[in-house]
């Protein structure tokens, strides 16, 4: 029986795919690679490039990054239908996901649309926050500590509670609301305990404490902040 595989490729470095991801790619008949822009390159496909067999059929599909949910879901449904058809025609179909397919991914929506109709397998990947901690060689959490992961786009009150109630907080997509998050952390005197990693494990990776930014700075899309209240040794490099 053919299956549909969501495959995490990790945050950027091609070495961060798992053996299981590489072995799964080997048995595929068709691979879907998401594009953020029509005709643009697929970040996930570039990361997986060293492991893609030359004769693998790749279907690059455009996943619009828009706020119009109706339009977005319609375009996902079209792609989901195409995937269902491919699997029912006995093709093992893969779908590449940046980072971990379980963490804020479009794959989760496609999988939900198809869950009752075809067999679905998820191949875990290294998430951006895991790689950020690794690149800093600081723990995400220790002992009884908690970690909350929340996007900067969440409700502001919820964001404040996350920051107030947890030992460690990962703030995803910080670029989308940088000034507001900066202000919340500044009010709590936590700027020096927060480190921002831009483009984790990608070519232009940069690590810097939040206190070394200005409130009006513009950050790249792949920027994530890690607040560690207990850590007095956060260093820039």
| Element at 61 (helix H, strand E) | strand 57-62
Q: How many residues are listed for the chain in this entry?
A: 237
Question: Where does this chain touch a copy of itself (CB under 8 A) — which range of 17-25, 33-41, 178-186, 189-197?
Answer: 17-25
User: Between 12 and 198, whose beta carbon lies closer to a copy of itself?
Assistant: 12
Q: How far is residue 140 from each of residues 18, 84, 223, measured CA to CA in Å?
A: 21, 38, 17
Q: Give the Cα separation of 20 and 6 in Å (integer).
A: 12
Beta bridge partners of 206: 198
Can you tell me which residue has the tokens 């279907």?
59
User: Between 108 and 217, whose beta carbon lies closer to a copy of itself?
Assistant: 108
Residue pair 207/128 in contact (Cβ under 8 Å)? The answer is: no
User: Between 116 and 214, whose beta carbon lies closer to a copy of itself?
Assistant: 116
Judge residue 47's burial from the number of C-beta atoms within 10 Å of its C-beta, 0-12 exposed, 13-18 middle, 19 or more buried.
buried
Q: Give the Cα separation of 35 and 65 in Å (integer).
A: 10
Which is nearest to 128 in space by CA: 149, 146, 110?
Answer: 149
Q: Is residue 12 a contact point for a copy of itself (CB under 8 A)?
A: no
Q: Is residue 175 a contact point for a copy of itself (CB under 8 A)?
A: no
Q: Is residue 98 a contact point for a copy of itself (CB under 8 A)?
A: no
Question: Where does this chain touch a copy of itself (CB under 8 A) — which range of 7-15, 75-83, 87-95, 189-197?
Answer: 7-15
Q: Is residue 124 a contact point for a copy of itself (CB under 8 A)?
A: yes
Per-residue binding string, a copy of itself, 21-50, x by CB under 8 A, is -xx---------------------------
Q: Is residue 111 a contact point for a copy of itself (CB under 8 A)?
A: yes
Per-residue binding string, a copy of itself, 133-172, x by CB under 8 A, is xxx-xxxxxxxxxxxxxxx-xxx--x--xx--xx------
Which is nearest to 172 in space by CA: 204, 219, 212?
Answer: 219
Residues in contact with a copy of itself, total (CB under 8 A)? 60
Interface residues toward a copy of itself, by CB under 8 A: 6, 8, 10, 13-20, 22-23, 100-105, 108-109, 111, 115, 120-127, 130-131, 133-135, 137-151, 153-155, 158, 161-162, 165-166, 233
């Amino acid at each position: 029986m053919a299956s549909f595989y969501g495959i995490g490729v990790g945050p950027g470095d091609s070495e961060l795919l798992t053996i299981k991801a590489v072995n799964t790619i080997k048995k595929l008949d068709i691979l879907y690679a998401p594009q953020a822009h029509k005709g643009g390159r697929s970040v996930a496909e570039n990361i997986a490039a060293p492991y893609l067999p030359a004769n693998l059929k790749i279907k690059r599909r455009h996943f619009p990054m828009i706020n119009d949910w109706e339009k977005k879901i319609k375009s996902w449904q079209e792609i989901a239908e195409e995937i269902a058809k491919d699997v029912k025609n006995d093709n093992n179909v893969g779908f590449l996901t940046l980072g971990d397919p379980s963490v804020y991914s479009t794959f989760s929506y496609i999988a939900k649309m198809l869950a009752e109709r075809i067999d679905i397998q998820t191949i875990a990947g290294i998430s951006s926050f895991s790689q950020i901690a690794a690149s800093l060689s600081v723990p995400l959490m220790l002992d009884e500590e908690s970690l909350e992961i929340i996007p900067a786009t969440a409700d502001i009150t919820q964001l404040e509670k996350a920051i107030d109630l947890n030992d460690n907080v990962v703030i995803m997509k910080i670029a989308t609301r940088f000034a507001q998050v900066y202000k919340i952390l500044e009010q709590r005197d936590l700027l020096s305990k927060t480190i921002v990693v831009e483009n984790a494990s990608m070519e232009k990776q940069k690590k810097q404490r939040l206190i070394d930014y200005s409130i009006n700075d513009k950050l790249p899309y792949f920027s994530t902040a890690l607040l560690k209240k207990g850590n007095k040794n956060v260093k820039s490099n």
